[in-house]
Amino acid sequence: MEDIRLQKIKTAVEYIKSRIVGIKPLAGIVLGSGLGKLGDIIEEAQVIPYKEIPGFSVSTAIGHKGNLIYGKLGGQPVIAMQGRFHYYEGYPMEQVVLPIRVMALLGIRYLFVSNAAGGVNFKYKVGDLMLITDHINLLPNPLIGQNIEELGPRFPDMTRPYDKGLIARMDGIAAKLGIGLHHGVYLGSTGPTYETPAEYRFYRSAGADAVGMSTIPEVIAARHMNIPVLGISVITNEAHDDYADDYVNDGDDVVIAADAAADRMTALVIELISQLGREE
Ligand code: HPA
């Protein structure tokens, strides 16, 4: 009998195919906190709220809308998740990565993931963009449990979590558009607490440049299925040596900072997708 988890993925896929006849996305895009507005500029958009998709959860995080959007970006067909599921919301990892597996079975050739992240590297300022070149996973691994052989191997390679070709291409686009981009390591923790000063120090000493509460499970699920990934973090709060007496990390500020950077991120993603599509 077919794995019940695979059945669940296929049920969602069939539902989406019934709603969007002829769906053929080139890329899947996950829009993080405060970055959902990229979803609003998708052309010829067909929107399916998550609550209508069998098996999908409802996103409760701030700055997350909870829609699957199919349409065109840079003239190419894309499927975007306007809002994601986080482990800290209480969902099992299987739910967190379900949409990634669904997008994979819908045929995406690339996955773009975005997030709002805290700066760990002292050089990073609020509003900076960071291309994720590698990650450190401190969340539970979404592949724990019996392997779904139809999706990928038991022990997936993780030597190249983020695609070097896509990174090089994005660097070229950023230079052409005059948009600054850091290259850095993203560390994923469970949240929902922000870090203590000692944790930020610890993560810096471990080689992290930014920290967030998402993304890595999705990247692991995509790499399990051999889908090339590009990841972008928007830096929404800065690391400090010494925190002022009135300093606080605040979720609303994170969303505001991400929103302010969304136009630059959007310009980069549109150009990349348009280039990839032209080469098809
Ligand atoms: N830590 C974890 N997650 C985050 C942060 C942070 O400082 N900023 C935005 N998301």
Q: Where are the domains of the chain?
A: 4-279
Ligand 1 contact via 32 beta carbon (within 6 Å): no
User: What pLDDT does residue 254 have?
Assistant: 78
Query: Which residues have C-beta within 8 Å of that of residue 167, sequence separation ≥ 6?
Result: 131, 133, 183, 230
Does the beta carbon of 185 sit less than 6 angstroms from any atom of ligand 1?
no
State residue 59's pLDDT score: 66
Cβ pair 51, 59 in contact under 8 A = no
3-state secondary structure of 46: strand
Look up tokens 């660097």; give the residue: 171
Residue-level pLDDT at 280? 74
Ligand 1, atom 8: nearest CA belongs to which residue? 118
Nearest CA to ligand 1 atom 2: 212
pLDDT in tens, 3-56: 999 999 999 999 999 999 999 999 999 998 878 888 989 999 999 999 999 999
Give dist(CA 83, CA 94) in Å, integer. 16
Neighbour count for residue 189 (Cβ, 10 Å)? 23
Other CB atoms closer than 10 Å to residue 212's CB: what's the count?
A: 24
The CB-side HSE value for 280 (13 A sphere, CA atoms) comes to: 15
Q: Is 118 in the pocket of ligand 1 (CB under 6 A)?
A: yes
Region 132-155: mean pLDDT is 98
**Residue 165: beta bridge partners?**
none
User: Which among 62-76, 205-219, 229-243 has the top mean pLDDT?
Assistant: 205-219
Q: Distance (Å, rounded) from C-alpha 122 to C-alpha 124?
A: 6
CATH class of 4-279: alpha beta
Q: Is 135 helix (H, G, I), strand (E, B) or coil?
A: strand
- Return phi, psi of residue 112, to 5°: -110, 125
| Ligand 1, atom 7, residue with closest C-alpha | 118
Cβ neighbours for 38, distance < 8 A, ≥ 6 positions apart: 29, 31, 73, 80, 114, 262, 265, 266, 269
Q: How far is CA 78 from CA 125, 230, 253, in A?
A: 31, 15, 29
Q: Supply the mean pLDDT for the chain.
A: 94
Q: For residue 89, what are the contacts with CB-CB under 8 A and spacing of at least 6?
A: 57, 59, 60, 61
- The rounded Cα 150 to chain-centroid distance in angstroms is 23
Asked if residue 190 has pLDDT above 70, the reply is yes
94 C-beta closer than 6 A to ligand 1: no
Token pair listed for 248: 């606080």
Q: Give the 3-state secondary structure of residue 238.
A: coil
Nearest to 38, CA basis, from 15, 20, 65 = 65
Instruction: Name the residue at shortest CA distance from atom 6 of ligand 1.
Output: 118
Could you tell me the pLDDT band of residue 61, with boundaries at 50, 70 and 90?
A: low
Q: What is the pTM of this model?
A: 0.96
